[in-house]
Structures are given as C-alpha cells and as structure tokens.
Amino acid sequence: MVKGINDLNKKVAQIPKRIEVAARRAMEKGAEELVEMMKRLVPKDSGDLRDSIGWTWGNAPAGAKVIAQSDPDERGLKITVYAGNERAYYAAWVEFGTAPHNVAKGGGNKSFKGAATGHPGSRAQPFFFPSYRSLRKRIQSRIKRETRKSMKFVGPPTASEAG
C-alpha cells in the first residue's frame, strides 16, 4: 500500500470545497460593491428605495424586484441583487421611467368614463444598469481570479473549508 494515500484523498476532497468558498466570497464582495454603487446612484426622495436595495443568497424577499441573479449551481445556490419592497414598489419606474398616463381611479383603460387626471410621465433615472455595466467585468475577473488562486493553494484546509 502507498504511504500517505489517506492524506492525499483528504486533500483532493477539500479542493471543490475550497473553490466554492473562494467563489462565494468573491461573489459576496461583488454583490456588496454593486449594491453600494446602486445606493449612491439611486434618487433619494424619501430614502425608501435606497434602503430597499440589497442582495441575498437565494430568492429575493417578498415584494422586491429582482435586479440581477446568478444561475443556480448544482447545489441550488444563487445570489440575488434586488430593489424595492411593499413601500418602494416603484423601483422599475425609477430605473426605466414612465410614459404619460391617466392616474385617475379606474383610469388607464379604454372603458374609463370619468374625468381624466393626466400624469406627464417621468424620465428614467437609472441606478442599476450603469452600476452593473461599470462593475460587471471587475466582478467576473475577481471570481475567476479567486477560484484560480484557490485551485493553486497548497496547504491545510482553513476553518471555513473544514466546516
């Protein structure tokens, strides 16, 4: 029997875990950067929309609009960046703007018979797409760099890899 085979098997078994831990950390850092930039760019009337921007592992909270999310891996892990909630339901309207429309109760449809109350629409005030476009390559590069680095690392498992 070859000496040290058990140690080798343990080290080989740690490689996928080590890569996952490194990728998760890089994804979390990228999500934090994206959220911070979005919060800096979003218009701040009441602050409700700014306060609703965040990220999470898994699905977005109820009432939030999913801004971006990764495809789930084989373990079902995915990271989601979101904006909006029950109070700040207008995230998409701020990002993309609105066309002129009737805001009277029951308005907006062709069968409306009341007095129209027109809204001139609102201009787009994008906060997500400028952030995403400016950080996308940086985030992707960080994930690739950290996973490559974890593949090359030689040494005992760290505390996060062992658990």
The confidence score (pLDDT) of residue 1 equals 46
- pLDDT confidence band for 119 (50 / 70 / 90): confident
Find the mean pLDDT for residues 30-42.
96
- pLDDT confidence band for 20 (50 / 70 / 90): confident
Report pTM: 0.77
Cβ-based neighbours of 31, under 8 Å, separated by 6 or more: 55, 79, 81
Q: How do residues 45-67 score in pLDDT, each as one tens digit?
A: 889 999 999 999 988 898 888 88
- pLDDT confidence band for 142 (50 / 70 / 90): very high
User: Considering only CA atoms, which of 91, 114, 90, 119 is closest in space to residue 103?
Assistant: 119
Check whether 83 has a pLDDT greater than 70.
yes
Q: At what angle do helices 5-41 and 128-152 cross, to 10 degrees?
A: 160
